Structure 1
Amino acid sequence: MDLNTLWFILIAVLFTGFFFLEGFDYGVGVLLPFLGRTDDERRVLTNSIGPVWDGNEVWLITAGGAIFAAFPNWYATLFSGFYLALALMLIALIVRGVSFEFRSSHEGVIWRKLWDWLLFGGSLVTALLWGVAVADLVHGVPINSALQYAGGFWDLLSLYSLTGGLALLFLFIYHGALYLSLKTETSLLERAQGAAKVTGLATILLVLVFALLTYLQTDLFTRGGAGFVLILSALALILSYAAVRRGRSGWAFVFNALTILFLTASVFWGLFPRVMVSSLRPQWSLTIYNAASSPYTLRIMTIVALILVPFVLLYQGWTYWVFRRRVNFKNLHY
């Protein structure tokens, strides 16, 4: 295995961790105005992710930094082509982040409801745009012979990309409902389990439609075992929903985690060795070789990653261990 392949795999692992951890953050944010009927209940919901959401964002920052350093041409083409979409995502992330702090800075009812709905909007927009971006990477975008994006904002939107956006959005909402089933008590627990039953069924339908469109409109199913892994993702989701129907929230969360893992793996497996597919001509696609940094840069980055990544993993593991208990009205902080 060369360093180009190693860094492609590492970036895939970083995005897998990000979608798994930040996925339930987005889901809780979207569910917040609907499950929390009182201010104290909404405080319980925000406290369930309050200590961990910013740590979960580290996976995204690290993945972005890895793309910039290891595959600068990928970074340049991605950020120039997806500029408006990424700017909108950044605004949503900023609004979402400050809402955790601002809602508790004033006790006014209208003030707190405002920031609750902004948390909802920031979570929904970000999750939807991530789904659209992933679908565009699989389907392909207009990239010319100079390896530069040659389209506009509306070229990023299609039936396939919007279906992918909705599928990932509902997958994250379902993930958030399962997370709340493990972190809340009494009436909030019951509502979270009810939300998981409703959103789980919608998620299954959207993921199956997305898988069908992927088979019809992309080459993912012809690239090794990527299509098989996507099928495994759908099967894990069905098993997760079956566990929800039986009241096994823990197993449902585990199977949904596998759903996200298999889904992300299928995307990167289907891309390899490409990093961005050209919809104009296949030979104009960016790959792990024509988009990569020099071998010396990759060697230095590998040494740095081997030193720093274990510390990040230990920090995240310690955080979740400290805040492992269910949240109730007696241990609120936000």
Structure 2
Amino acid sequence: MTATVAAWILLLATAAYACGGGVDYGAGFWDLTAGGTRRGRRPRDLIDHAMEPVWEVNNVWLIFVLVLMWTGFPVFFEAVFSAMWLPLALAAVGLVLRGAGFALRKPSRRLAQRRFFGAVFAVASLLTPFFLGAAVGGVASGRAAPGTPATAHVWASTTSVVAGLLAVAATAFLGAVFLTADAHRFDAPD
């Protein structure tokens, strides 16, 4: 009974992270495609304004999911994190680079620095959901069982690649929906 309750809480927390964090990753996708300095200024201002109050908070859901998975399902946690260590490590690096790029872009005075940090933020916003999706695809395809060796075969399968691409597409969609609503709220339809 308690495992079932923990599994439902894990599912709800994962959905909360997918929605909240997905919007942020999607905003990074739209930041990447916003255009050059002049054309992309207004979309990037909207992205910054929309993300500033919540971009750090969304990762609390991820930490909650990891702690719940670790304490509620330790064998599953060990199987996933030993077999999927590479995509999960790349996703963690992406989280750090993404946060650093977002935090350092705005206070940078030189255009070259703003572009560099903006590119770090945008590219990491694509790579992080891709690697998280690839890990989910590996788990969904049954490749992360206890005792599975950590090889590319575990997470670089067709299912994992498709799941990673779907994660990027889903976050881009979530980001577009949120940013469109935010633009409407701030009377900025362009």
Q: TM-score, normalization: structure 2?
A: 0.90
Query: Partners of 1:112 and 1:187 in 2: how far apart?
Result: 26
The residue aligned with 1:319 is none
Query: Partners of 1:116 and 1:29 in 2: how far apart?
Result: 9
Superposition deviation, residue 83 in structure 1: 0.8
Structure 1 pair 176/136, CA: closer, same or farther in 2 (3 Å)? same
Query: Partners of 1:113 and 1:66 in 2: how far apart?
Result: 38
The aligned length equals: 186
2:85–2:150 contact (8 Å) kept in structure 1: no
Which shows bigger deviation, 42-51 or 109-118? 42-51
Query: Partners of 1:155 and 1:57 in 2: how far apart?
Result: 25
Superposition deviation, residue 21 in structure 1: 1.0
Runs of 5+ in structure 2 lacking a partner? none
Query: Partners of 2:42 and 2:104 in 1: how far apart?
Result: 16
The residue aligned with 1:282 is none
Bigger relative contact order, structure 1 or 2, given CA contacts below 8 A and separation 6+? 2
Alignment of 1:206-221 (within 5 A): none
User: Structure 1, residues 174-221: CA drift from partner, whole Å, max 9, x if none?
Assistant: 11111110112589644xxxxxxxxxxxxxxxxxxxxxxxxxxxxxxx
Which shows bigger deviation, 52-61 or 152-161? 152-161
Query: Partners of 2:127 and 2:189 in 1: how far apart?
Result: 26
Structure with greater Cα Rg: 1
The residue aligned with 1:108 is 110
The residue aligned with 1:66 is 68
Query: Partners of 1:188 and 1:163 in 2: how far apart?
Result: 35
Superposition deviation, residue 91 in structure 1: 0.7
Alignment of 1:156-195 (within 5 A): 156-184=155-183, 189-190=189-190
Superposition deviation, residue 79 in structure 1: 1.0
Aligned residue identity for 1:23:
G
Task: Give yes or no for the alignment of 1:19 onto 2:25.
Answer: no
Aligned residue identity for 2:156:
L
The residue aligned with 1:154 is 153
Q: TM-score, normalization: structure 1?
A: 0.52
1:32–1:120 contact (8 Å) kept in structure 2: yes
Superposition deviation, residue 42 in structure 1: 1.5
Alignment of 1:249-264 (within 5 A): none
Aligned residue identity for 1:172:
T
Aligned residue identity for 1:85:
P
1:35–1:188 contact (8 Å) kept in structure 2: no
